[in-house]
Structure 1
Amino acid sequence: MESKVKGAPAKLHIRKGDTVKVISGNAKGETGVVKQVLVGKLRATVENVNMITKHIKPNAQNPQGSIEKREGAIHISNLMVVDPKTGEAAKTGRKANDKGKLQRFSKKSGNFI
């Protein structure tokens, strides 16, 4: 799998559905579930974190237009996966499981994620 960004890793440490903690930026310290990973831009959208205001232009279905709140994308370097066993943010690595398939694990506790 090739990445569109020059110098980007082929695989990312975050996947859709992971619980992550924001480690820097305006939303520092907040946790949430990853809704979407934008691999080409190295960003992720996290549920109820980094909320932005989006102005919607008027159209036939919505003649008034509107203002809505939605999640903004956060760079993946500012996110850490939360270990499901301990509940703390931890670095991840990859090692073979019993069947020989590479699987992510927490470097802090050694448990598979």
Structure 2
Amino acid sequence: MSAAKIKKGDKVVVLSGKDKGRSGEVLKVLPKDGKVLVDGVNVAARHRKPSQGNPQGGIDRLPAPMAISKVALEDPKNPGKPTRVRFEIQDGKKVRVAVKSGEAING
């Protein structure tokens, strides 16, 4: 299995779809499905019936999973701009590096 280029907590930019250009933080990565959950992006409304736990009922707005191919990591030097990721060995450790700026990515 190859190393993960996008991880939980990363800032990503949406490349295509209804939320194109928006950015957010990765809440969860689903590698088996090839999907990610991004905070505030691809928000789906779920209508909930009143229940004992939620007597009011109502509409819950939660982010839905989206294809990992539709997002790219945000460049650390240029916020809001997407970048690809490569791996380098620095001080004996494998680190993720932004292709556009050459900056090491935390995480």
Q: Name the TM-score, length of structure 2 as normaliser.
A: 0.87
Superposed displacement of residue 101, structure 1:
0.9
SS of 1:26 mapped into structure 2: coil
Indicate which of 86, 90, 95 corresponds to 1:93.
86
Higher strand share: 2
Shift of 1:61: 1.9
The residue type paired with residue 34 of structure 2 is: L
C-alpha RMSD of matched pairs (Å): 1.5
Measured after TM superposition, the shift of residue 97 of structure 1 is 1.0
Aligned to 1:33: 25
Counterpart of 1:45 in structure 2 is 37
Gaps of 5+ in 1: 3-9
How many angstroms does 1:85 deviate by? 1.8
What are the ranges of 5 or more consecutive residues in structure 2 without an aligned counterpart?
none
Q: Deviations over 1:33-89 (max 9, x none)?
A: 111111111111111111110122443222453221111111110000011122221
Amino acid at match of 2:9: G
**Aligned mates of 1:76, 1:11 — CA distance in 2:** 14
Distance in 2 (alpha carbons) for counterparts of 1:14 and 1:49: 16
Give the % identical residues. 37
Runs of 4+ residues deviating >4 angstroms:
none
Q: Which amino acid aligns with 1:91?
A: R
The equivalent of 2:72 in structure 1 is: 80
TM-score in terms of structure 1 length: 0.83
Counterparts in 2 of 1:40 and 1:57: CA distance versus 1, 3 Å? farther
